[in-house]
């Protein structure tokens, strides 16, 4: 079941029909997913907010078609939590292996032995020095200090990392992601939410190229400069982007040697990337599938550009 998207499941449900009787579907899965399970469709639709053994109702809205108004169709379902303890045919050696996972790999023990929800492990993370206990804490915007903005220009979504450096500490204030948006709306968001701040801007070097994605054929940084009323001295963008393999060393050195804290709420997207973005066998960020949140690195790219522009000297320590 967890190999299906919500759209896949709805397609199956709409295809299973029989006029002479009720249709029953049985689904099973290991409770592991690629995103925080609290944001995962399977958990939210069928498990969140209720116990696991009672009967429940799943509501799906059928859109208006052929002159008929939209309607809510109710599906009755039961959810059952099971482990190998419920399987009388489980062989002793299999049971022994599942229990041994407690020492071999506590994560796999939680998911595959105890059947608890988990976020699929990243076997080769891009940032292996990131530590949730060390690097996550509430942050507050300090209006007396300059605000660094690091942009990443995807077609969708466009993102910006908001950070501050003072008192020998780096503060992750916000990871901005505006879906179905553009650089103009992103700048409007920044102007509204960070009024009166002194900005210093960096980001994706390709944003200096003239692009049809912005109005009048000008480049992204021209738009940012004009929309945020910046001087040229406030734009700190390199001529080319850093190589990913070399930049990985910088990112890991930063989280190892610098005092960095990221806000757990407003930097949720960046934290997700730091925990989940992996590298391929060539040492590059694995961006093979944009439909998989773990293979986008939208927020991580902005952090890379920021560190490359303002903290590259950390490699000399």
Mean pLDDT of 60-75: 76
**Number of neighbours of residue 184 by Cβ within 10 angstroms:** 13
Q: 24-37: per-residue pLDDT in tens?
A: 888 899 888 877 78
Higher pLDDT, 37 or 144: 144
What is the pTM assigned to this prediction?
0.66
What residue ranges define each of the domains in the chain, with the CATH number in brackets?
A: 6-78 (no CATH), 94-119 (no CATH), 132-316 (3.30.420.280)
127-136, 195-204, 250-259, 288-297: segment of lowest average pLDDT: 288-297
Q: What is the mean pLDDT of residues 141-166?
A: 92
Query: How far apart are the C-alpha atoms of 171 and 144, rounded to whole Å?
Result: 14
CA distances from 280 to 8, 32, 285 (A): 28, 22, 6
Which residue's entry shows tokens 């990337």?
Answer: 273
pLDDT at 290 over 60: no
User: What torsion do the CA atoms of 42, 45, 51, 52 make, to the nearest 10 degrees?
Assistant: -40
Report which of 132, 107, 105 is spatially closest to residue 272, judged by C-alpha positions. 132
What is the side-by-side order of every strand in the sheet holding 169-178? 199-203, 147-152, 158-166, 169-178, 260-262
Q: Is 1's pLDDT higher than 50?
A: yes
Average of per-residue pLDDT across 127-134: 91
Q: How far apart are CA 139 and CA 170, in angstroms?
A: 10
Q: In angstroms, rounded to a whole number, what is the distance separating the alpha carbons of residues 107 and 262?
A: 24
């Amino acid at each position: 079941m967890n190999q299906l998207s919500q759209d896949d499941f709805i397609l199956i449900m709409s295809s299973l029909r029989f006029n002479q009787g009720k249709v029953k579907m049985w689904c099973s899965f290991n409770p592991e997913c690629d995103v925080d399970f609290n944001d995962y469709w399977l958990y939210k639709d069928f498990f969140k907010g209720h116990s696991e053994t009672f009967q429940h109702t799943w509501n799906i809205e059928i859109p208006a078609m052929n002159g008929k108004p939209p309607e809510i169709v109710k599906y009755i379902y039961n959810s059952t939590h099971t482990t190998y303890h419920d399987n009388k045919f489980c062989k002793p050696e299999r049971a022994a292996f599942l229990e041994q996972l407690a020492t071999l790999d506590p994560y796999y023990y939680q998911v595959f032995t105890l059947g608890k929800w988990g976020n699929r492990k990243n076997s080769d993370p891009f940032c292996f020095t990131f530590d949730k206990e060390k690097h996550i804490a509430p942050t507050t915007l300090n209006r007396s200090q300059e605000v660094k903005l690091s942009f990443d220009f995807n077609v969708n979504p466009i993102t910006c990392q908001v950070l501050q450096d003072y008192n020998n500490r780096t503060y992750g204030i916000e990871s901005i992601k505006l879906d179905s948006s553009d650089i103009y709306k992103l700048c409007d968001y920044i102007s509204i939410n960070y009024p009166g701040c002194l900005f210093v801007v960096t980001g994706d070097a390709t944003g200096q190229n003239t692009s049809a994605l912005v109005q009048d054929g000008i480049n992204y940084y021209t738009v940012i400069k004009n929309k945020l009323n910046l001087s040229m001295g406030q734009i700190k963008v390199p001529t080319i982007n850093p190589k990913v393999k070399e930049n990985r060393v910088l990112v890991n050195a930063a989280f190892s040697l610098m005092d960095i804290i990221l806000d757990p709420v407003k930097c949720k997207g960046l934290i997700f990337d730091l925990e989940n973005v992996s590298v391929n066998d060539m040492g590059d960020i694995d961006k093979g599938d944009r439909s998989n949140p773990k293979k986008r690195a939208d927020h991580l790219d902005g952090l890379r550009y920021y560190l490359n522009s303002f903290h590259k000297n950390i490699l000399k320590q």
